[in-house]
Structure 1
Amino acid sequence: MKTPFLLLQQKLGCSFLFLLLTSQMAFSQQLPTGSWAGDLNVRGAAPIKVIFNFPAAAKGQSLVSIPYTGMHDLQVERVKEVGDSLQLAFRDHLSSYTFTALYGAGNKGVAGLFVIGDNRKFPLTISLTNAESLRPSRPQTPTAPFPYAVLPITFAGGDAGVMLSGTITAPKGKKEVPGVILLSGSGPHNRDGEQFYHKTFLVLADELTKRGFAVLRYDERGVGESSGKYAGNFTEDFAPDGLAAVKALQTDKRLKVKNVYVIGHSEGTLMAQIIAAEAPDVAGVVLLAAAGLPGVAFNKSRHRALLKANGISEEQGGQDLMIQDRSYEIVGASPDSATAVANLRKFHEEIDMDPNYSERYITPFVDPWLFHSLHFDPTPYQQKIKVPVLAITGETDSQTPAQDNMPAIKAGLQAAGNANFTPVVLPKLNHFMQTSVTGAYDESYTLEETFSPEVLKMVGDWLVKQATGAGKARRTAKGI
């Protein structure tokens, strides 16, 4: 793919990152504080900004952001202090990274070496900066004062010990209102659904709250102010957090919320399907960049869409595409990663693949995130959903291609006897609900538009119609 290596890693999923700062003084006496940023110069690509936010308080949480890859506010875990060395670690669902540097007194730059994986080495110098000054123009981002209530909330997540921190925006007053829960896609996201400096969920929450909905958005576990760890969890692990958010909004004593709707984006659409299948009191579902295929079929479809986005046809893909498809099938049929490795090696022997290349080729296919993706099937959940579903995908979406995913969702819902499905495919709309030019994944960073006004209106209109109809149905059932 014609993307920087780091961006490619972010798109496929992350694993474990060690950040090592080696100093000439005891860190217990002088830890870095504030925002520190620097440019990672990857050959053939524009500089990639890396930002570390170190808290002034000893018990505060350090955060890391690499906005060009879509990563914002992922928590950094301090592992230990050893002499004059501070060792920090954080995990996503991609590769390993290290940063080793000398830390000097004052606000001077810190020069070091950033290593991706085992041997991709890039110089990186970070210095104290104003993080907000780095933010490009995002004119749709709402700013205070707001014409609605902004309420902080903390609630127990789906696993023991996980406390999720979020924000509810709600119409002022105590009148009964419908509610909405926002669910992020793959990769760590803060409550604003921030990617590429675009605060997608803040824009969506602002629109829906102005239209009469109480909207809850939250930092995912291990992100921002939420506890727990992001890495090592998958769709079925994050879905209970979303279900906990539904219950938290329904029971918040500051509000009167009855009907709750769930909106998911990308992987969040799979979480939304799980929640709607398991929570009969959810009133409806909105799927943005809808995913609906079983794992192997989904990854095959996405791979072809990514090739197309980069100007490569299936005919041009040829042998490589055949090997990719067969690898997906082999891993998807293997009960564990050890079996997958053995079966992939056998397949590579059959096609006379170079043994050295074979081992490098196998590694990403047994990455826990991809392995899980290839084994996940949303179909059983779709077959339990009885509520109305709106699904919106763009023609230029190269991550969740509409031509394959929409029919899969429709078939699953039909098996549940659910004909209340509204599929919408919009031209020039990318994976992030933006009006796009190419649809390439990293194009989002260059766009000023955060959320297509057409899609904002479409989602708002559909929800208002559903909420109004649900209210009428409730009053009719009560004989009012």
Structure 2
Amino acid sequence: MSTVRTIFYGFLVLLVTFALPGHSAGLLADTPLDGYWKGPLKLPGGQLEVIFRLVKLSSGEYFATLDVPMQKVSRLAVTVTTRADTVIFLSAEADCRFTGRLLPDKKQMQGTWQQPGFKAPLTLTYSALPTVAAGVKTRLTPPYREENVTLDNQVANARLAGMLTVPAGPGPFPAVVLLSDAGSQDRNGTVGDFGPMGWLADYLTRRGVAVLRFDDRGVGESTGAAATTTASIVSDAQAALSFLRGRPELDQNHIGLIGHGEGGNVALLAAAQLQPPAFVVGLAPYGLPGAEIALHRQEATLASLRTMPDQLAAAIKRQQSIIDVIRQTINNSQARVIVANILRKDNPVLDEATVQARATEMVSTSYRSFLSFDPSAGIVPVTCPVLLLYGSADQTLNVDANMSALTKALKTDKAVTTRKLPGVNHLFQPDPEQWPIVSGQSQPNFSPAAEEAIRAWIMAQVGK
């Protein structure tokens, strides 16, 4: 059995099994799975589109996520395992699965979706990943300079490939580095068909701010092993700042960091180090410890998928018991045995190999690091101006609790601004009613209110 796995810091992982037809091991081996697999999930009273996104990393592993746009569910981690003629996307916590067949045309998977208290047929249809993010697709030449660049992170032995966009004119221009949310992301932070970092980079550069964005380690043209802790990503941000400080067309006194989700936490940690950025913009950064984030996200996700209340409560209790075991049992071998027993008891349909693989994953260094990560720790020394921006429709975070925790941790910094934008979700998309119509269909965009709030705040720092 070969296993390809990605941990999105322990957030809800859905179990998906593709049972392929006879003699299909060769079909599977010859079929790259990276791309989108989309399908309508019929529920009582309507249907929801589910979107699985698979990206093959340079290591040979897959980064996989699940989106349910209508429920504002995005980037749920999917652990991908291949065994003989079977592919498994695992969720021990939620006990959800899709079992289906990869059809001979390699463009569809037919089968059944199952989650606690619900079962329904589902057909997934393949589409290729876009070469560029939504919002920066085929277009006229932009009114600014674009330059493909490479950054050397000697600390992590990684080479980061990215794009620097510089406004027209001689400069010098203020500049920012964009840092993506948790998980392995391309330079546009692509989720489904939406690339928030690409949208934001275009908006800011058109309005006088140079922007550097890059593929995460092991993604796209970047090399290096994926980071296992939030703190270890700080060196990527520092490498990017160092690169911009060597560019004569940029205003060396106004080079900052903009981080989305976990990227916001990385930016704040970098601001607490030597040679900090001139300012930080945090877009929905985490403020509560990882264990609390994991439980909240699972509860919100299961609720959005219309899980029955008693089953939702049981799933949360089960998740809490697993987290307690992992945090209280230092010895990995002992923790793995206990977690495996819990998974075996609560998920009798799982085979032993899958149980062991999942238990090993849940006691890994990266998962332990996420559970113990406290975003408030280590940022007390921050003194630069900080903008903390959240959306009221964010279902990934308890917005008020996370914003309050970070504000408290930054209480010695007298230049902290906080804002909560109405109707904006975790991806900083506005309410769907405000999405633009493209080719007769509404398409997600980056909230114009958020874009302008970020631009105006940056320019206010430049003017001081």
Using structure 1 for the length normalisation, give the TM-score: 0.69
Structure 1, unaligned stretches of length 5 or more?
1-5, 15-20, 55-59, 71-91, 101-111, 439-445, 470-480
1:216 aligns with 2:194: no
From the superposition, tell whether residues 279 and 336 of structure 1 become closer, same or farther in structure 2 (CA, over 3 Å).
farther
Aligned twin of 1:202: 198
Q: 1:192-228 CA distances to partner (integer Å, 9 max, x unpaired)?
A: 1211121211110111112211110001110011111
The question of whether the paired residues in 2 share the 8 Å contact of 1:180 and 1:214 is answered with: yes
From the superposition, tell whether residues 131 and 330 of structure 1 become closer, same or farther in structure 2 (CA, over 3 Å).
closer
Distance in 2, matches of 1:420 and 1:7, equals 35
Q: 1:53-78 CA distances to partner (integer Å, 9 max, x unpaired)?
A: 99xxxxx99997868659xxxxxxxx
From the superposition, tell whether residues 390 and 66 of structure 1 become closer, same or farther in structure 2 (CA, over 3 Å).
same
TM superposition shift of 1:410: 0.8
The question of whether the paired residues in 1 share the 8 Å contact of 2:184 and 2:219 is answered with: yes
From the superposition, tell whether residues 152 and 270 of structure 1 become closer, same or farther in structure 2 (CA, over 3 Å).
same
1:383 is aligned, of 380, 392, 398, to 380
**Could you say which structure has the larger radius of gyration?**
1
From the superposition, tell whether residues 99 and 313 of structure 1 become closer, same or farther in structure 2 (CA, over 3 Å).
closer
What secondary structure, in the 3-state scheme, does the structure 2 residue paired with 1:429 have?
Answer: coil
1:226 is aligned, of 222, 225, 236, to 222
Using structure 2 for the length normalisation, give the TM-score: 0.71
1:420 alignment partner AA: A
What secondary structure, in the 3-state scheme, does the structure 1 residue paired with 2:141 have?
Answer: coil
Aligned residues: 402
TM superposition shift of 1:138: 4.5
Distance in 2, matches of 1:323 and 1:152, equals 47
Aligned twin of 2:281: 286
Distance in 2, matches of 1:13 and 1:314, equals 19
Aligned twin of 2:79: 95
Q: 1:169-203 CA distances to partner (integer Å, 9 max, x unpaired)?
A: 01234322211000001122111121112121111
TM superposition shift of 1:269: 1.4
Distance in 2, matches of 1:252 and 1:136, equals 26
What secondary structure, in the 3-state scheme, does the structure 2 residue paired with 1:194 have?
Answer: coil
1:463 aligns with 2:458: yes
Percent identity over the alignment is 24
1:406 is aligned, of 370, 386, 403, to 403
1:169 aligns with 2:165: yes
Q: 1:225-283 CA distances to partner (integer Å, 9 max, x unpaired)?
A: 111132x6231222211111111111135655432111111111121121111144311
From the superposition, tell whether residues 342 and 114 of structure 1 become closer, same or farther in structure 2 (CA, over 3 Å).
closer
Aligned twin of 1:374: 371
1:124 aligns with 2:102: yes
Distance in 2, matches of 1:190 and 1:354, equals 33
2:100 alignment partner AA: F
* Cα RMSD for the two superposed structures: 4.7
TM superposition shift of 1:51: 7.2
Distance in 2, matches of 1:421 and 1:131, equals 43
Higher helix share: 1
1:356 is aligned, of 342, 345, 359, to 345
Distance in 2, matches of 1:229 and 1:137, equals 24
For structure 1, which segment, 37-46 or 270-279, has the greater mean C-alpha deviation from structure 2 after superposition?
Answer: 37-46
Distance in 2, matches of 1:327 and 1:262, equals 35
Aligned twin of 1:418: 413
Q: 1:282-333 CA distances to partner (integer Å, 9 max, x unpaired)?
A: 1111111221112233333434443554467988854543443344344334
Distance in 1, matches of 2:312 and 2:90, equals 27
Distance in 2, matches of 1:52 and 1:384, equals 37
The question of whether the paired residues in 2 share the 8 Å contact of 1:41 and 1:123 is answered with: no
Aligned twin of 2:316: 321
What secondary structure, in the 3-state scheme, does the structure 1 residue paired with 2:410 have?
Answer: helix
1:186 is aligned, of 182, 186, 201, to 182
Distance in 1, matches of 2:363 and 2:319, equals 13
From the superposition, tell whether residues 450 and 326 of structure 1 become closer, same or farther in structure 2 (CA, over 3 Å).
same
TM superposition shift of 1:466: 1.1
From the superposition, tell whether residues 466 and 256 of structure 1 become closer, same or farther in structure 2 (CA, over 3 Å).
closer
Aligned twin of 2:146: 150
1:123 alignment partner AA: R
